[in-house]
Amino acid sequence: MSTLTSIRRPPASYLEALLTGLPQLPTSSLPWINELRAEAVNRLDVLSLPTRHDEDWRFTDISPLTKRSFTPALSSPYLEAADVARFHIEEATTRLVFVDGIYAPLLSSAASNSGVVVSNLQTVLATHAAVIEAHLGRHAAFSHNVFAALNTALLHDTAVIVVPRKVSLAAPVHMLFIATQKEVINTPRCLVVAETGSTVTVIEDYVMLHQSHWQKEAYFTNAVTEVVLEDNARVNHIRIQSEDSKAFHIANCAVSLGRSSNYQSVSVALGGQISRYNLDVLLAEGAECAVDGLALITDSQIADTHTCIDHTQAHGVSHQLHKCIVGGSAHAVFNGKIMVRKGAQHTDSVQSSRNLLLTSKAHIDTKPQLEIFADDVKCVHGATIGQLDSEEVFYLKSRGLSDSVAHNLLTYAFAAEIIDRIPIASLKRQLEQSVFEQTRSLS
Amino acid sequence: MIYQDSKTLLEVHGLCATVNGIEILKGLDITVKSGEVHAIMGPNGSGKSTFAKVLAGHTAYEVTGGSVLFEGKNLFELAPEERARAGLFLAFQYPIEIPGVANSEFLRLSYNTVQAQHGREELDPLEFDDFVREKMNLLDMNHDFLGRSVNEGFSGGEKKRNEILQMALLAPRLAILDETDSGLDIDALKIVSQGVNQLANKDNAIVLVTHYQRLLNHIVPDFVHVMEAGRIIKTAGKELALELETRGYDWVSAEHQAAMATV
């Protein structure tokens, strides 16, 4: 059904090397997909890799990433269900698993009953072409974003979730991306469409599976996620990034909120040598969002979060709490922009960036920004950077807790405020455990 | 209560301490024996709370002179957590709110740490749950407080009850209650006092730091001390509290100055 072509260009640049590394992308039977890819390839001719001279990247030096070469995985290793069982989330009855970016149907448990789609692009493209064409690649703009363009140029498969009108999915849907190979670029992609009045909880989960011979080698995950909420839809979006500590992870997520829709997101960044998460949220009239984040890093990790919450119409509500806990000589970056457009009267927006430095070498850059063009709005933002409260430490010690237990508990508590917002009990427990372990090693 | 065969728990001699370089305690002396209840009263700024914090080992307070023996050992050689494990307990005047730390978890960690210190059995979460609920009933505390963060969103009275709950769990040798009565209404004061009275026995001792006589109607002291300018200037029996209630502190101060002048 599809013929094979190759992208024939000399690997003159880093980006081209990545592109040509993928020898043959199957041409889709749908012309618009081919056009989308071609458009992205064309943009890559124009775009260059960001450096610290770019305003959007001035705190994060990605030269360790661009110094290395990566090739797309041509095949993924055969994994037994037992190999990945520990990544399962018990509440999630449907699961889409991608191994090194390649869909693993035997590890997945898809669904397509009562109009609900939980599947991969290649399976449902023919049956759900209209909804996919309307949204895939339409929200995550790549014209000025080299990593989104790269992902789109390599677009092959995608985790697709479509929830039809007024359908409410009780169980969360788990999108699991497992990295198993070093020196590989993975380009995961997700598309979530919640149609009018529907409700869904999705978990976007990035993990690595150590092979026995694996000595912590780098790989590169370059992800793009698009989430669409039609009018009155509700989406809970939980994003967990627990890549290998040597990995590079760059992700772009674009969320589009229809009228009176509600988007709640919690993103947690634990892994990665360098990780970057760009989240763009666009709100229509009366839409509400809560966008919360936690970065917990140590050693020489870098975790950079850029968010833009864009109120385009009136009566929108956005709440954002972003926390960073930084140990070792790690470096966390938060850049959070709240945009209130001219017509977005009665916008209610609260943004807070709270940061905890655990060592003298840890480093945090935080930049909350408000850009307001409407005159009748309620917008509050603020940032704090600090160490653990000495009165709290003393209180715990006065009850017999050792200095290190007191520090560990308080660091954990700082993180728990975000973790507690995850509406899935087993995931919350699991994260609490891993955060507790990690804070123990930090303090 | 005063017992014949009591042991000396706390011996303070000439204690001097500063906060931010300002001398607050200026030669404080007090001896507390097992079985006894002491009340330390005095006007604001006389150093009562500073004394309590110094005993607990707060780092903002620097000890500049004098000595404190706790069960015969130099208290200042012990870190705050070691003092707690050795059986010294401070009920805070302003208990700290710790968002994100579950009260049940905090109480259990604290209880087990002290248990371990004494070579006693630690409790797992289920066992501890039963144990702590029993103690909460003594203080007429809602069990919902276990699931909440430590002191977060608690009313003043609830925080004070949570302090006494910790005292009940840790069963200290010496408990210092820093203005535990402030912020309590009459009913809560009765319940908290009953709780404290149940915990008092011939092997432990209680030091109440308070402004008001009303607490002492419920927890009857064996000794009442008046503090002024970083020193204890008068010590007497429980009747002194009543006298202070009607006459204020000025006469004690005048009496003390007169006595000093004749020396």
What are φ and ψ of residue B206, in 5° steps?
A: -130, 130
Q: Which residues of A touch B57 (CB under 8 A)?
A: 397-398
Q: Which residues of A touch B85 (CB under 8 A)?
A: 400
CA angle B252, B175, B19 (to 5 degrees): 65
Please, are residues A432 and A408 in contact by the beta-carbon 8 Å criterion? no
Which helix (H) or strand (E) is A354 found in, with range? strand A348-357
> pLDDT by residue (tens digit) across A167-211?
999 999 999 999 999 889 999 999 999 999 999 999 999 999 976
Q: What is the mean pLDDT of residues A283-290?
A: 98
> pLDDT by residue (tens digit) across A124-134?
988 999 999 99
* Residue A269 CB-density burial (10 A; 0-12 exposed, 13-18 middle, 19+ buried): buried
What is the model's pLDDT at position B110? 96
Determine, for residues B109 and A416 on separate chains, whether the beta-carbon distance falls below 8 Å. no
What is the model's pLDDT at position A216? 65
What is the model's pLDDT at position A215? 62
What is the model's pLDDT at position B125? 93
Mutate to test the interface with B, among A321, A398, A409, A420 (most CBs of B within 10 A): A398
Q: What is the mean pLDDT of residues A133-154?
A: 95
Q: Would you say residue A51 has pLDDT above 80?
A: yes
Nearest residue of B to residue A400 by CA position? B81
Which residue is associated with the tokens 């959070």?
Answer: A336
Q: What tokens were used for B177?
A: 């209650």
What are φ and ψ of residue B26, in 5° steps?
A: -130, 60
Question: In sequence order, which residues have a C-beta less than 8 Å from that of residue A78 and are 6 or more positions away?
Answer: none
What is the model's pLDDT at position A25? 61
Q: What tokens were used for A319?
A: 């709440």
In a domain, A295, yes or no: no
Q: Would you say residue A4 has pLDDT above 60?
A: no
> pLDDT by residue (tens digit) across B187-226?
999 999 999 999 999 999 999 999 888 999 999 999 999 9
In a domain, A344, yes or no: no
What is the model's pLDDT at position A10? 41
In a domain, A214, yes or no: yes
What is the model's pLDDT at position A5? 43
Mutate to test the interface with A, among B19, B92, B109 (most CBs of A within 10 A): B109
Q: Would you say residue A8 has pLDDT above 50?
A: no
Which helix (H) or strand (E) is A275 found in, with range? strand A274-283
> pLDDT by residue (tens digit) across A208-235?
997 666 566 799 999 999 999 999 999 9
In a domain, A321, yes or no: no
Of B58, B84, B99, the CB nearest to A400: B84
Q: Would you say residue B106 has pLDDT above 60?
A: yes
Smallest Cα distance from A389 to chain B, Å: 10
Instruction: Indicate the pLDDT class of residue A11, thresholds 50, 70 and 90.
Output: very low
Smallest Cα distance from A420 to chain B, Å: 9
Question: What are the E-state strand segments in B20-146?
Answer: 22-33, 37-41, 61-70, 73-74, 88-91, 98-102
What is the model's pLDDT at position A2? 39
Percent residues over pLDDT 70 in chain B: 100
Determine, for residues A398 and B106 on separate chains, whether the beta-carbon distance falls below 8 Å. no
Least-confidence region, from A73-77, A119-123, A396-400, B169-173: A73-77
What are chain B's domains? 8-262 (3.40.50.300)
Q: Would you say residue A245 has pLDDT above 60?
A: yes
What is the model's pLDDT at position B120? 92
Q: Which residues of A touch B110 (CB under 8 A)?
A: 396, 399-401
Q: Which domain holds residue A418?
A: 390-443
Do A111 and A257 lie in a common domain? Answer: yes
Integer Cα distance of A436 and A250 in angstroms? 25
Integer Cα distance of A223 and A220 in angstroms? 10
What is the model's pLDDT at position A62? 93
Do A403 and A274 lie in a common domain? Answer: no
> pLDDT by residue (tens digit) across B81-95?
999 999 999 999 999
Q: Which residues of B touch A390 (CB under 8 A)?
A: 59
Percent residues over pLDDT 90 in chain A: 79
HSE of A146, CA atoms in CB hemisphere, 13 A = 17
- From residue A161, give the alpha-carbon distance in Å to each of A36, A158, A183, A201, B200: 20, 10, 29, 10, 64
Nearest residue of B to residue A408 by CA position? B101
Please, are residues A330 and A301 in contact by the beta-carbon 8 Å criterion? yes
Angle between helices A390-397 and A403-419 in degrees, nearest 10: 120
Do A275 and A399 lie in a common domain? Answer: no
3-state secondary structure of A69: coil
In a domain, A96, yes or no: yes
Integer Cα distance of A92 and A188 in angstroms? 20
Single out the residue in A284, A306, A321 at which a domain terminates. Answer: A284
Q: What is the mean pLDDT of residues A277-295?
A: 98
> pLDDT by residue (tens digit) across B33-69?
999 999 999 998 999 999 999 999 999 999 999 999 9
Do A53 and A189 lie in a common domain? Answer: yes
Determine, for residues A400 and B79 on separate chains, whether the beta-carbon distance falls below 8 Å. no
Instruction: Judge if ipTM > 0.90.
Output: yes
What is the model's pLDDT at position A211? 66
> pLDDT by residue (tens digit) across A57-71?
999 999 999 888 888
Determine, for residues B100 and A415 on separate chains, whether the beta-carbon distance falls below 8 Å. yes
Single out the residue in A239, A255, A284 at which a domain terminates. Answer: A284
What is the model's pLDDT at position A212? 62
What are φ and ψ of residue A318, in 5° steps?
A: -135, 135
Q: Would you say residue A276 has pLDDT above 50?
A: yes
Determine, for residues A413 and B84 on separate chains, whether the beta-carbon distance falls below 8 Å. no
Integer Cα distance of A7 and A38 in angstroms? 10
Least-confidence region, from A20-29, A45-54, A379-388, B103-112: A20-29
What is the model's pLDDT at position A442? 64
Single out the residue in A251, A284, A317 at which a domain terminates. Answer: A284
In a domain, A346, yes or no: no
Smallest Cα distance from A397 to chain B, Å: 5
Q: Would you say residue A7 has pLDDT above 70?
A: no
- From residue A430, give the alpha-carbon distance in Å to each of A57, A89, A435, A441: 32, 9, 9, 17
The per-residue pLDDT of chain B, averaged, comes to: 94
Determine, for residues B110 and A399 on separate chains, whether the beta-carbon distance falls below 8 Å. yes
Integer Cα distance of B28 and B64 in angstroms? 12
Interface A-B: count of C-beta contacts within 8 A: 73
Q: What is the mean pLDDT of residues B138-156?
A: 92
What is the model's pLDDT at position A213? 61
In a domain, A303, yes or no: no
Q: Would you say residue A18 has pLDDT above 80?
A: no
Do A274 and A396 lie in a common domain? Answer: no
Q: Would you say residue B263 has pLDDT above 80?
A: no
Q: Would you say residue A317 has pLDDT above 80?
A: yes
Integer Cα distance of A274 and A284 in angstroms? 33
In a domain, A260, yes or no: yes
Q: What tokens were used for A376?
A: 């009748």
Q: Would you say residue A12 has pLDDT above 90?
A: no
Q: What is the mean pLDDT of residues A386-401?
A: 95
Q: Please state the domain count of chain A.
A: 2
